[in-house]
Structure 1
Amino acid sequence: MNLYPKQLFRLLALSVVACFTMALVGCGDDDAQYIGNDNSSSSGNKNANTVTSERAVRRLEFPALKKTGNQKLIVHRLSNTSYDSEAINFATEWDCDKKSQRWSCYQLHKGFTGNYSRVADFTFDPALSPSEYWSEFRYFPGYDRGHICPSADRTFSHEANEQTFYMSNMQPQYHEFNGYQDGTSNRGLWVRMESQLQKWAKNLSYTDTIYVCKGGTIDDEKNIITRINGKMIVPKYFFMAILRKSQFGYAAVGFWSNQTKAWRTEETLLSHCMSIEKLEQLTGIDFFCNLPDDIEKQVEKTFNASSWADLK
């Protein structure tokens, strides 16, 4: 077939567009969890976590690991890769001096829920020694044992759900913040936030991912309510850092709320939303540090409510 110059130019242009489109689609595979190389000082991603013995720290759900103090990173893995290509369930940064968790992080995909029911058997984390945890606190007197990585987000297998009941994944929370009141419409603010996140996850396409980092404030005395028996920290504030990757790119939102012993049903979720940049100022945690710096800066500086449905 003979092509005129204009036809040849158009064909070449379409080929370039097609190749670029395929490259964008390719960003949805498992390797997209590891952006850049393993050198945290590399051009384009200066604040990324440095890989030592645990490669998972370069996944997008991980914030920057705390560089001072006596921390322990716990990565909970599953016995197979049917849900996650690296068999990762969720991860926790544990402060061995404060004997408290700073955050848990994990991913959400379409179909993260399944047929396995809540295990409801709280156990100590086998990754921690007795000296690294307040072993007398199997329960939190006066408080709920509040999941940070929720049981409801891990019902695709018995093993995954069981790991969410490790005490290292718990923080002391008022029932009015974390629970329900039978016979009424009262639902705690924290559980409302978790339910909204689960709704967003259920509406993901099969190529989308939500990256989550959640926790309570343990690093500043003014952000602590009390210590149970003078030991176990009760955080005054709880947070969620949420990043969604879809065919439209990245979008992020932060949740921040003080913990009070009240139902607060009149408060909207929207009133607790903010940019990730603002959430970082409040928590002192560098979220989504493994994104390329230019994308991280753009995504974290603003919060667009129109990108997130049903913030009521």
Structure 2
Amino acid sequence: MAKKKTGVKPKKRVKKRKAGKKGSPFLASLKRFLGVVLGGTVLSIGLLFVYDYAYPEEAESAYVKLRNEQSAETAFTPLTLPKGIEQPRVLTDAKQQILYREGHTLSYNPEYRIPNWVAWVLTQEKLENNRASRYDQFVPDPDVSEWATAYDEDYRGSGFDRGHMVPVADVKWSHKAMRESFYFSNICPQDRKMNGGIWNTLEQKCRTWASDKGVLYIVSGPVIHPKLRRLGKNRVAIPEQFYKVICTVSDNKYQGIAFLLENREYKGTKLQATALPIDSVEAVTGIDFFPLLPDKEEREMERTVDLKFWFK
């Protein structure tokens, strides 16, 4: 008589499933992977300790080399200043065309035929590398449309100077930078006595500061509003005021100063008497200066002026 099947086989199948679950190939692979990663990490840390112990002088030399390879614009200070720190941000709806030049960057306003702002970095090294001979030909910026630029004939007989925002003497370290400073995108109508007087004094003072402090981050331009008078056939706006804002770093601290000057002659006025906090110029122009700085440091720098720092 044949024996009846018992349920042994199902029980064996259950045991096999449990054994298979404990010995999953995926879990085994994961354990091996984690073991390799952990072992590699421990080995790497051990090698670093051995290297630092065996080659302490080489490690120090690598740090010194990296520090010495910093650009001349930031090596004078322990603070690391971001690239393009000098470039501001227009907070209004003013029209603008951003143009990058060898010696400066600018925001050009095609409606008024003058810049909103012109920004550049002035270093002691650039001032010492004074190799370019003066170039005196004012020409339209090749990147500005013909209908949106000023021309030389707009200024002839007007009584106004072709006033540079980035001055020629700041870019004599490069022939190309000097030529580009004569583009009309960098020029505004300025009162001759203002241009040759207090404005020129301010430009010279900036070069003195750059020599003393190592580097300046400068933004300069006109104050623009819709009711400005116009000049010449192409209706170039005549600014009533000009500004210049400056930032540097000393003893690991940002220092800032600003000037807001009317487009007129200043008789017997000392430059120091016209100094303002950067906040004051921001309120008038609608431009945020040095927006790449940390917010806390930017606010502190822009709300006050340390006159003893700038005018010793």
Provide the TM-score with structure 1 as the length reference.
Answer: 0.70
SS of the residue 1:199 aligns to: helix
Write the distance in 2 (CA, Å) between the matches of 1:196 and 1:136: 29
**Is 1:238 aligned to 2:242, yes or no?**
yes
**Is 1:129 aligned to 2:145, yes or no?**
yes
Deviation of 1:255 after TM superposition, in Å, equals 0.6
SS of the residue 2:287 aligns to: coil
Write the distance in 2 (CA, Å) between the matches of 1:303 and 1:249: 13
Shifted more, 133-142 versus 251-260: the winner is: 133-142
**Is 1:216 aligned to 2:226, yes or no?**
no
Asked if the contact 2:114–2:185 (Cα under 8 Å) also holds between the matched residues in 1, the reply is: yes
Residue-by-residue CA offset, 1:236-285 (whole Å, 9 max, x unaligned): 1111010012344210000111111x3x3410111110111112112221
1:59 aligns with 84
2:174 aligns with 157
Identity %, equivalent residues: 26
Write the distance in 2 (CA, Å) between the matches of 1:209 and 1:285: 22
The answer for unaligned runs of 5 or more in structure 2 is 1-59
Equivalent positions of 1:132-151 (< 5 A) are 132-135=148-151, 137=153, 139=155, 141-151=158-168
**Is 1:228 aligned to 2:245, yes or no?**
no
Write the distance in 2 (CA, Å) between the matches of 1:240 and 1:277: 12
Max Rg structure: 2
SS of the residue 1:111 aligns to: helix
1:70 aligns with 95
1:301 aligns with 303
Write the distance in 2 (CA, Å) between the matches of 1:33 and 1:73: 22
SS of the residue 2:87 aligns to: coil
The answer for unaligned runs of 5 or more in structure 1 is 1-17, 35-57, 78-88, 180-187
1:43 aligns with none
Write the distance in 2 (CA, Å) between the matches of 1:69 and 1:287: 16
SS of the residue 1:203 aligns to: helix
Equivalent positions of 1:39-188 (< 5 A) are 59-66=84-91, 68-77=93-102, 89-113=103-127, 114-135=130-151, 137=153, 139=155, 141-179=158-196, 188=197
130 and 275 in structure 1: CA distance in 2 versus 1, 3 angstrom threshold: same
Structure with the higher fraction of residues in helix conformation: 2
SS of the residue 1:112 aligns to: helix
Write the distance in 2 (CA, Å) between the matches of 1:90 and 1:286: 18
Asked if the contact 1:209–1:246 (Cα under 8 Å) also holds between the matched residues in 2, the reply is: no
Provide the TM-score with structure 2 as the length reference.
Answer: 0.70
Write the distance in 1 (CA, Å) between the matches of 2:283 and 2:91: 15
Residue-by-residue CA offset, 1:157-190 (whole Å, 9 max, x unaligned): 21111111111100001110112xxxxxxxx111
Write the distance in 1 (CA, Å) between the matches of 2:147 and 2:251: 46
2:280 aligns with 278
SS of the residue 2:290 aligns to: coil
